[in-house]
Amino acid sequence: MAEACSRCATEFMVGAKFCHACGADRPLQPQFADGPWTHWFEFPKILEFQSLRESLGLSAPSLVAFFAGLGCILAAIAVGLIYTAQSVADFQAIQLWRIQWLMGAVVAFAAGILLKKAGSTKS
């Protein structure tokens, strides 16, 4: 977001020390020294929806479908970790639940492919 003057609410020009409209001083920005720990502050930017959408080259509905597919895959893995088979019927029920979650993932990924815009291929 652009920084604005506190006196007249005009946006500062890039690199300006004063407001071009009213002449008020621009508040000083704290400068961090570049060190090995500063890259941790950039990590949350990677997880932003818009940043992910641009880096993967997907449209917003396509990215939502992609995350739904990942959620279904995680649910299929969780079914195997949470439930244990005591009999053959239990084993078959667990496998059926896994199959249903994996089919949901396939449907979500297919929806993501179909919702992808034609011009949004990443070069």
pLDDT bin (cut points 50, 70, 90) of residue 88 is very high
Rounded CA gap, 11 and 21, in Å?
A: 9
Predicted local distance difference test score (pLDDT) of residue 92: 93
Residue 53, Cβ density class (10 Å: 0-12 exposed, 13-18 middle, ≥19 buried)? middle
**12 backbone dihedrals φ, ψ, rounded to 5°:** -75, 145
Q: Are 79 and 94 in contact (CB under 8 A)?
A: yes
pLDDT bin (cut points 50, 70, 90) of residue 20 is confident
**How many alpha carbons lie under 13 Å from residue 119 in its C-beta half-sphere?**
0
- Domain positions in the chain are 53-115
Residue 108, Cβ density class (10 Å: 0-12 exposed, 13-18 middle, ≥19 buried)? buried
Q: Please enumerate in sequence order all residues whose Cβ is within 8 A of that of 83, keeping only pairs 6 or more positions apart, or say none.
A: 90, 94, 97
- 35-87: pLDDT as tens digits: 566 555 665 666 677 777 777 788 888 888 999 999 999 999 999 899 888 99
| pTM summary value | 0.56
The whole-angstrom distance between residue 82's C-alpha and the CA centroid of its chain comes to 27
Rounded CA gap, 61 and 49, in Å?
A: 11
User: Token pair of 76, please?
Assistant: 């299929």
